Amino acid sequence: MANVEVSLKEAMTSIEGVLGVALVDYASGMALGTLGGGKDLDLMVAAAGNTDVIRAKNRTMEMLGLKDEIEDLLITLGSQYHLIRLLRNRGAGGLFLYLVLDKGKSNLAMARHQLRRIEADLEV
């Protein structure tokens, strides 16, 4: 089992093309940990904004009567992928991993695979 710091470092080093990663509590919108980012990628602002995305999708699923859970959400920009993975492991309800990838340097399928592996090892 890995703690938050180890898991974020694992994401930054094992996933090709990562620009930043955060662990976020979507009840509050607060990032519990961030790594990467920079002046053009404020992970704290992104964490709060993506909390709204998850809340909206959950409301929509409820209105549609869908009895399923979100696995992950993908937002594709011109030069980046923004991947949001809701955590389902024990003790991690209400949290998500947020990953920003350089579209030209990353492999989306491999990033999703690695993020699932990191989630499985994460202990919150």
As a whole number of angstroms, the distance between CA 124 and CA 111 comes to: 21
- Residue ranges of domains in the chain: 4-121
CATH code for the part of the protein at 4-121:
3.30.450.30
Residue labelled with tokens 């209400």: 94
Per-residue pLDDT reduced to its tens digit, 74-109: 999 999 999 999 998 755 578 999 999 999 999 999
Assign 3-class secondary structure to 55-97: HHHHHHHHHHCCCCCCCEEEEECCCEEEEEEECCCCCCCCEEE
Distance, in Å, from the CA atom of 49 to the CA atom of 124, rounded to the nearest integer, reads 22
pLDDT in tens, 32-80: 999 999 888 999 999 999 999 999 999 999 999 999 988 999 999 999 9
Q: What predicted TM-score, i.e. pTM, was given to this entire model?
A: 0.91
